C-alpha cells in the first residue's frame, strides 16, 4: 500500500494542470501575504514553527467527533451539529495558514500542495452543505455529506504529510547539522568581511554566514532554516540577513526571525579572532 501511495504522490507531482490551479490561487490570494504582519502571523513566526500543523487538529478533531456522535444516535444530534459548525469555522484560519506556507513552494511541492488544498476545500464545501441539509431537516443527507468530507480530509492529510515528511516543506533545514562544539578556524579573514554584505565561509565541513553588526563580526549557519537557501548570497537589510530565495529575514543580533516564511531562528555561532582569522563555535546558551 505504501508503494502505491508513493506512486500516487509522484503522479500528482507530475501533473502540469495543477500549475494552472496554483497560478490562480496565487493571483487571487497571494497578495494577502504582502503584509509582513499577516505573513508572520499566518506562517507561525511568533510560534517558532509553522502554524498550519497546529491548526489542522481543530477541523479534523471536530469533524471526526461530529461523525462519531452521528453514529451514536438522535440524543447526540445537537452536539454533532455544534462540532460540525465549529469545524467549518476553524477550517478558514487553518486554510490561510496552509496557504501561507504554500505560496513559497515551487515545482512538485507546489503541485502536491495545490491538490492538498483542492481536497480540503472540497471537504469544506461538503461540510457546509451538510450544515445546510441538517438545518433543513435532511439529516441522512447531511450525515452522508459529512462522511464523504471526512474521506477527502483523510486523503488531503496524507498529501500534507508527504509535503512535510517526504519533501521537507516547513522542516528546519538545519535540524540535522551537528553543532561545532570546539573552536574551528574558517577560511575567511576578518578583513575580508564587508560592512554591507554577508559572506560565506567554511569551518570544517560546515558553511557559515559571516556579517558585521554594530561593528562586530557575527556568524550564523549559512543554510536558511526555511528551505535551505544560501544566506551568504543574500543581503543585509535593516540589521537583518535576508535569504535570496524566499526573502526570510533574520536579526543579525540574535538570529531571530524578523520576516517569514521562515519560522525557526537561525543557528548562531560564537566568534573570536586569532591572528586575523575568524574562528567559530556553536553559541553557548545565554
Q: Which pLDDT tens digit goes with each residue over 158-189?
A: 999 999 999 999 999 999 999 899 999 999 99
* Mean pLDDT over each residue of the chain, to the nearest integer: 96
Its sign, for the CA torsion 233, 237, 241, 245, is negative
Residue-wise pLDDT for 246-276, tens only, equals 999 999 999 999 999 999 999 999 999 999 9
Given a contact cutoff of 8 angstroms between Cβ atoms, the answer to whether 80 and 70 are in contact is yes
Query: What pLDDT, on the 0 to 100 scale, is given for residue 113?
Result: 97
Query: What pLDDT, on the 0 to 100 scale, is given for residue 213?
Result: 95
Burial 12-35 (b: 16+ CB within 10 A, else e): bbeeeebeebbeebeeeeeeebee
Residue-wise pLDDT for 236-249, tens only, equals 999 999 999 999 99
Its sign, for the CA torsion 124, 130, 136, 141, is positive
Please tell me the distance from the alpha carbon of residue 172 to that of residue 180, in angstroms, as a whole number: 18
Residue-wise pLDDT for 144-161, tens only, equals 999 999 999 999 999 999
Supply the pTM of this predicted model: 0.92
The mean per-residue pLDDT over the stretch 82-107 comes to: 97
Please tell me the distance from the alpha carbon of residue 240 to that of residue 252, in angstroms, as a whole number: 5
Helices (H), 103-223: 107-135, 139-165
Give 26's Cβ-side CA count (13 Å radius): 16
Query: What pLDDT, on the 0 to 100 scale, is given for residue 284?
Result: 79
Q: How far is CA 245 from CA 104, 231, 273, in A?
A: 9, 9, 31
The mean per-residue pLDDT over the stretch 60-75 comes to: 94
Please tell me the distance from the alpha carbon of residue 283 to that of residue 270, in angstroms, as a whole number: 5
pLDDT above 80: residue 227: yes
Q: For 158-256, list the strands marked E by DSSP.
A: 184-189, 199-203, 206-213, 216-221, 235-237, 240-242, 249-251
The mean per-residue pLDDT over the stretch 100-116 comes to: 96
286 falls in which pLDDT band (50, 70, 90)? Answer: low
Query: What pLDDT, on the 0 to 100 scale, is given for residue 187?
Result: 95
Amino acid at each position: 500500500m505504501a508503494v502505491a501511495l508513493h506512486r500516487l504522490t509522484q503522479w500528482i507531482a507530475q501533473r502540469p494542470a495543477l500549475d494552472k490551479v496554483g497560478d490562480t490561487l496565487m493571483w487571487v490570494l497571494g497578495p494577502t501575504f504582502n503584509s509582513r504582519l499577516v505573513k508572520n502571523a499566518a506562517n507561525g513566526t511568533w510560534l517558532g514553527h509553522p502554524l498550519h500543523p497546529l491548526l489542522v487538529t481543530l477541523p479534523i478533531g471536530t469533524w471526526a467527533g461530529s461523525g462519531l456522535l452521528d453514529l451514536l444516535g438522535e440524543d447526540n444530534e445537537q452536539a454533532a451539529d455544534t462540532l460540525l459548525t465549529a469545524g467549518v469555522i476553524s477550517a478558514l484560519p487553518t486554510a490561510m495558514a496552509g496557504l501561507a506556507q504554500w505560496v513559497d513552494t515551487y515545482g512538485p511541492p507546489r503541485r502536491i500542495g495545490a491538490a492538498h488544498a483542492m481536497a480540503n476545500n472540497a471537504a469544506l464545501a461538503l461540510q457546509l452543505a451538510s450544515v445546510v441539509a441538517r438545518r433543513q431537516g435532511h439529516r441522512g443527507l447531511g450525515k452522508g455529506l459529512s462522511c464523504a468530507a471526512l474521506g477527502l480530509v483523510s486523503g488531503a492529510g496524507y498529501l500534507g504529510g508527504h509535503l512535510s515528511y517526504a519533501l521537507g516543506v516547513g522542516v528546519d533545514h538545519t535540524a540535522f547539522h551537528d553543532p561545532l562544539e570546539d573552536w574551528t578556524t574558517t577560511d575567511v579573514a576578518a578583513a575580508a568581511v564587508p560592512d554591507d554584505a554577508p559572506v560565506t565561509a567554511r569551518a570544517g565541513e560546515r558553511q557559515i554566514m559571516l556579517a558585521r553588526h554594530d561593528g562586530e563580526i557575527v556568524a550564523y549557519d549559512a543554510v536558511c532554516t526555511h528551505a535551505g537557501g544560501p544566506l551568504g548570497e543574500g543581503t543585509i537589510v535593516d540589521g537583518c540577513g535576508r535569504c535570496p530565495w524566499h526573502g526570510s529575514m533574520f536579526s543579525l543580533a540574535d538570529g531571530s526571525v524578523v520576516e517569514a516564511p521562515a519560522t525557526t531562528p537561525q543557528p548562531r555561532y560564537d566568534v573570536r579572532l586569532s591572528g586575523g582569522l575568524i574562528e567559530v563555535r556553536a553559541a553557548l546558551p545565554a
